[in-house]
Structure 1
Amino acid sequence: MGRIAAPIGGFLMTIPAHVNAARQRQIINAIAWMVSPEAMKAHVKNGFPVAPRFSVCADPEALASSPIVRMVDQMARRNELVTWSRPPVPAFNLIERTLGREIHDAVFNGKAPKQAIRDAENEIYRSIDVASAS
């Protein structure tokens, strides 16, 4: 009797340890704004079909923006959604760690985004090939 769940994805927003205190406050404020009811309502009104806050789903204007909003809200209230669904891939942690490091280098260390993605892809393939050969 397994439970049916629909993954909706999500984000884990963190602050790297090396960021100075003044910059940390700016990042915290930006994250707080991104998850605020006002920002969520704006996303829903502009076509994003999921509102992770029940308060936004209760807003008639947000509900009127798309029939999907009401359906997803009802699924969430019935606990039919999961927000952290990892695929059953043995190398998932390696892939996640590699992408995290390369994206960090692109955002904070000036690495070209295309190069970061290329490097991540090469490292992931290399690591998976080594693991599968053993």
Structure 2
Amino acid sequence: MSDWKTQQMIKASGWPLAPELLLAPDADFNARLEGGLVPLHWACSEGKAGLVKHMLERGADVLDAADGEVSVAGRTPLYMAIHSGNFQTVMLVIDRLKALGAPPADEALKKRLASVFNKSHADAKNRLAQTLKDWDRIAKKS
């Protein structure tokens, strides 16, 4: 993505801090913000797929759980993405988790995903189901 397009995407995202924080060549997407979040948490919770992709491509840690009083399970990028209801954001996070060899979704997480996306287009539901099967298969090989 060109610098201009990236700048416009970040400005349009509603990112609450200075866009330059996300555009700098040395941007640290894992630096804690107020409340224990990192920029990736915000992008996932807001369902900003383009911004999530930008951050993941530049080293954002998809395994990073937010600090704070809320339970850790509810403060991971994946749970935040699911809460946003944005299918693309969820798939970006899951694809990165699979690539890192993270443990696959447990039954509770699979049910949560199914309940959030059960009214989605059939293609989305099928893609999600196949992705979860692939994640299980990859984990068994490891």
TM-score scaled by length of structure 1: 0.28
Higher Cα Rg, which structure:
1
TM-score scaled by length of structure 2: 0.27
RCO comparison, higher one (Cα < 8 Å, 6+)? 1
